[in-house]
Structure 1
Amino acid sequence: MSGDKFDKKDLKRRMEGAVDALKKEFGGLRTGRASAALLDPIRVEAYGSPTPISQVGTVSVPEPRMVTIQVWDKNLAPAVEKAIRNSALGINPVVEGTMIRIPIPPLNEERRAELAKAAGGYAENARVAVRNVRRDGMEQLKKAEKDGLISEDEHKSESVDVQKMTDETIASIDAALKHKQEEIMQV
């Protein structure tokens, strides 16, 4: 079998990448508790390019419903505030010099349902990515068999392995979604 035709480790890595990306997206969803990861998706216009907040200041969580950012360059404080206000997080920062305080209000039931639905959308995108990786693997196997690199039996055996990998990855996506939705709906 040729190494550049079908690589099970590469398929596994790509599937795990979809799960890792999902977990990062989940980190940006508010759960009513303060988290430094809440600000990860937000970019600030700094020095001519969009920059993550963590690269323009120190993000910390001093108490359960408060995130603070100590901005290193005082000229960037207004840009950081604007980026946070314009984000879809629905939070209002309070600027005190180079310190930005972000109180995290408790979520109402309607907002919790919206966030749970958004989490479901992220999970579906991850499932689609995993199924696309599976399809690529199956096509690689078909081509390898057609080119005479593997036998029909090897093709069937590897197909079963790819499907098993896909099922396991989708199960981990579903488990992560269930956990995140429970976390969001928790009052």
Structure 2
Amino acid sequence: MQDDLTLIIDDATGTMQKAIAHLEVELTKIRAGKANPQILDGITVEYYGAPTPLSQVANIAVADARTLTVQPWERNMLQPIERAIIASNIGINPQNDGQIIRMFLPPLTEERRKEFVKRAAGEGEQAKIAIRNIRRDAIEAIKKLQKDGLSEDIAKDAEADIQSLTNKYIEVVDKHCAQKEKEIMVI
């Protein structure tokens, strides 16, 4: 029984860490006023009939604080990359000069910044929901063990451990979101 309890708590911890890692990835995709190659993560390009991540068909670099460059490894990929960037709807217009694609990030307006802050808060809320669902599943598993003969005191202690774990990870989510908001609102 004790091994099962340890397994439930370890599983909940690992899954909550994955939720935090996912939040971190999603927050890096939100633009904060300066060029960041991770903005282009998630964009796929049609490469010889197969959807391929942009980073696998081109070199993505930061030219300066407001400019991203995409240098395809094959020249015939310029048009498909340009189309994929436009279709991704990230709010950046690519400029193709026949060799390289440049993307100039416009300075963020106050309204746009607030929009990005809302998006970051939404991602934070999704992470909190995931963490709470993990807590619910762990507590259900503990109650199931209790029905199978685990003592009530040990079950209550384990539920308290799960709740403290949940509180800890929700604090981490709040810190990440506050940090991203600060990063976005800095002019």
Q: TM-score range by the shorter chain?
A: over 0.9
**Matching residue of 1:186:** 186
Corresponding residue SS for 1:184: helix
Corresponding residue SS for 1:105: coil
Structure 2 residue 165 is the aligned partner of structure 1 residue 165 = yes
Q: Is the 8 A contact 1:59 1:68 kept in 2?
A: yes
The structural deviation recorded for 1:3 is 4.7
Equivalent residues, number: 186
Backbone CA RMSD of aligned residues: 1.4
User: What are the within-5 Å matches in structure 2 for residues 64-79 of structure 1?
Assistant: 64-79=65-80
**Matching residue of 2:35:** 34
The structural deviation recorded for 1:186 is 1.1
TM-score (norm 2): 0.94
Corresponding residue SS for 1:67: strand
Q: Which runs of 5+ in 1 are unaligned?
A: none
**Matching residue of 2:143:** 142
**Matching residue of 2:120:** 119
Q: Measure the CA separation in 2 of the matches of 1:166 and 1:49.
A: 41
Q: Measure the CA separation in 1 of the matches of 2:147 and 2:84.
A: 53
Q: Measure the CA separation in 1 of the matches of 2:12 and 2:50.
A: 34
Q: Which runs of 5+ in 2 are unaligned?
A: none
The structural deviation recorded for 1:98 is 3.7
Q: Is the 8 A contact 1:42 1:83 kept in 2?
A: yes
The structural deviation recorded for 1:32 is 1.0
Corresponding residue SS for 2:30: coil
TM-score (norm 1): 0.94
Q: Measure the CA separation in 2 of the matches of 1:143 and 1:31.
A: 46
The structural deviation recorded for 1:45 is 2.0
Structure 2 residue 122 is the aligned partner of structure 1 residue 128 = no
Q: Percent identity at matched positions?
A: 42
Q: Measure the CA separation in 2 of the matches of 1:164 and 1:48.
A: 49
Corresponding residue SS for 1:7: helix
Corresponding residue SS for 1:68: strand
Say if 1:147 and 1:65 are closer, same or farther in 2 by CA, change over 3 A: same
Q: Measure the CA separation in 2 of the matches of 1:13 and 1:94.
A: 43
Q: Measure the CA separation in 2 of the matches of 1:98 and 1:25.
A: 30
The structural deviation recorded for 1:41 is 2.2
The structural deviation recorded for 1:102 is 1.0
Q: Is the 8 A contact 1:73 1:98 kept in 2?
A: no
Q: Is the 8 A contact 1:30 1:89 kept in 2?
A: no
The structural deviation recorded for 1:4 is 5.6
Q: Measure the CA separation in 2 of the matches of 1:133 and 1:49.
A: 35
Kindly provide the CA deviation profile for residues 54-99 of structure 1, in whole angstroms up to 9, marking residues without a partner as x: 1111111121111111101222211111111122321011112241
The structural deviation recorded for 1:2 is 6.3
The structural deviation recorded for 1:50 is 2.2
